[in-house]
Chains A and B, each alone.
Chain A
Amino acid sequence: MAKTLRIRLAAIATCLWLVLGLTGRPAPASLDTFVGARSIVKNQPLSSCNNKARDALIAVLGRAAEYGDTGNWAGYGAIDASGNSFAAAAVHCYPLDEVQGYVVTFTCAAQSPPATESASIICGKLAAAFGGQS
């Protein structure tokens, strides 16, 4: 009786694992890149763009870094247990003397699956986070 029960439990466990394996098998990942918004901001210093770029990247993706002192920023999304990230974005700031301001651009990427948001959605959130700052 006990042996029969063990066999049944083993069969159920194996079936469950098999189903999970089949349904959880990852589909081929696809690289999604989006050319996001470009905005001209008047009467603001370049430092304002840099601060907003950093804060927007951190708010949306979690991390941000500037390439030296260039106004070129990049950020990565959350990292999984294996050290992989599946979302990234770039924000470029450049001063415009003629308007005493700057131009800023957003470019985003996502690898889906497993990324849950597309590159266009990430860029939309970045632009909103950037523009929403005072």
Chain B
Amino acid sequence: MIPLLRRGALAALALASAFVWCSSNAPASVDISAGIRHVSPDGTLADCSAKAKQSLDAFLEGAAESTPGSGDWIANSRNGIAGTPTATAVVRCYPLPKGYFATFTCVVQLPDNPYTATALCLDVAHTFYGGAITALAAIPTPTPLPTGCATTNLVGTWVSDSDSKLTFTMTVDGDVTDSEGVSGNWGLKGNTVTFTYYGNHTMTLSADGKHLSGGGYSLTRKC
């Protein structure tokens, strides 16, 4: 009996390890472009600032002066798959005795961002002083966290069919906690559920995603 329990514990650890390993994120990298500069023989710092804001807002969001009156403008993309911006552009204006000059610096986070820093800077600069515009791919939508009412996963609260006082709360991290505070783990592959709770149990998720059964347990989703 004891060796069986040990094997069960080892199997549970191996399963959890595989879950951890499979959920690790790939590292991203920074990509910068800083090679574009525009010199205007006429116009004022205010003109440059107006163009900077307009050209940044054409591709990004919330263009704002880093310090009021500085002529330094910055804007970010909307949030990417990780829930944070993956692209930023900076236009810095400086007045000259006749006209002004502006520098363009763009930074993106690859591979989360769908276009390069160079592509972004070219479009921002061309909008500023004129030139061909190449359409930029849309920023991927942030992945929403699963909710308890999504029948494609187990996240949420489940009630035992044999004891309505016994409930299980399953989290997005694969954790399970019952109504008495006893914890375990869950994993879902297809419609097969590995339920680690006082040992390992193999269960089946019903087609409608509302029932779990097998391994001595029968649970119903509570949304």
Are B34 and A74 interface neighbours, CB within 8 A?
yes
Are B29 and A85 interface neighbours, CB within 8 A?
yes
Nearest chain A residue, comparing its CB with the CB of B6: A7
Complex CA gap A90/B112 in Å reads: 22
Contact digits for A73-91, partner B, Cβ 8 Å, 1 yes 0 no: 1101100101111111110
Instruction: Give the segment of B10-18, B132-140, B154-162, B193-201 that binds chain A.
Output: B10-18
Are A109 and B32 interface neighbours, CB within 8 A?
yes
Which residues of A (29-66) have their CB < 8 Å from a CB of B? 29-31, 33, 35, 38
Are A38 and B94 interface neighbours, CB within 8 A?
yes
Complex CA gap A96/B98 in Å reads: 11
Known: A7-B6, A86-B30, A111-B29. A31 touches B109 (CB 8 A): yes
Are A88 and B32 interface neighbours, CB within 8 A?
yes
Which residues of A (1-38) have their CB < 8 Å from a CB of B? 7, 10-11, 14-15, 17-18, 21-22, 25-26, 28-31, 33, 35, 38
Provide the residues of chain B in CB contact with A15, threshold 8 Å.
13
Kindly name the residue among A7, A28, A94 whose own CB sees the greatest number of chain B CB atoms within 10 A.
Answer: A28
Nearest chain B residue, comparing its CB with the CB of A74: B34
Complex CA gap A107/B90 in Å reads: 8
Complex CA gap A26/B25 in Å reads: 6
Are B20 and A18 interface neighbours, CB within 8 A?
yes
Contact size class for B? 35 or more
Are B24 and A11 interface neighbours, CB within 8 A?
no
Nearest chain B residue, comparing its CB with the CB of A17: B17
Interface size on A, residues (CB 8 A): 49
Are A67 and B30 interface neighbours, CB within 8 A?
no
A131: interface (CB < 8 Å): no
Contact of A11 among B13, B16, B25 (CB under 8 A): B13
Total cross-chain contacts (CB, 8 A): 137
Provide the residues of chain B in CB contact with A25, threshold 8 Å.
20, 23-25
Are A35 and B90 interface neighbours, CB within 8 A?
yes
B72: interface (CB < 8 Å): yes
Are B107 and A21 interface neighbours, CB within 8 A?
no
Known: A14-B10, A76-B32, A110-B30. A30 touches B82 (CB 8 A): yes
CB distance from B199 to the nearest CB of A (A): 16
Complex CA gap A80/B16 in Å reads: 28
Complex CA gap A114/B25 in Å reads: 12
B171: interface (CB < 8 Å): no
Contact of B92 among A31, A38, A76 (CB under 8 A): A38
Kindly name the residue among B72, B74, B105 whose own CB sees the greatest number of chain A CB atoms within 10 A.
Answer: B105
Complex CA gap A73/B34 in Å reads: 7
Provide the residues of chain B in CB contact with A14, threshold 8 Å.
10, 13-14, 17
Which residues of A (101-134) have their CB < 8 Å from a CB of B? 103, 105, 107, 109-111, 114
The 7 closest A-B pairs by CB, nearest first: A67-B35, A90-B34, A84-B29, A28-B82, A21-B20, A88-B32, A35-B66
State the B residues within 8 Å of A (CB): 3, 6, 9-10, 13-14, 16-17, 20-21, 23-25, 27-37, 66, 70, 72, 74, 76, 82-88, 90, 92, 94, 96-97, 101, 103, 105, 107-109, 112
Given A18-B16, A25-B25, A92-B37, 12 extra CB contacts under 8 A: A7-B3, A11-B10, A22-B20, A26-B27, A29-B28, A29-B112, A31-B109, A35-B74, A77-B30, A94-B37, A94-B101, A107-B92
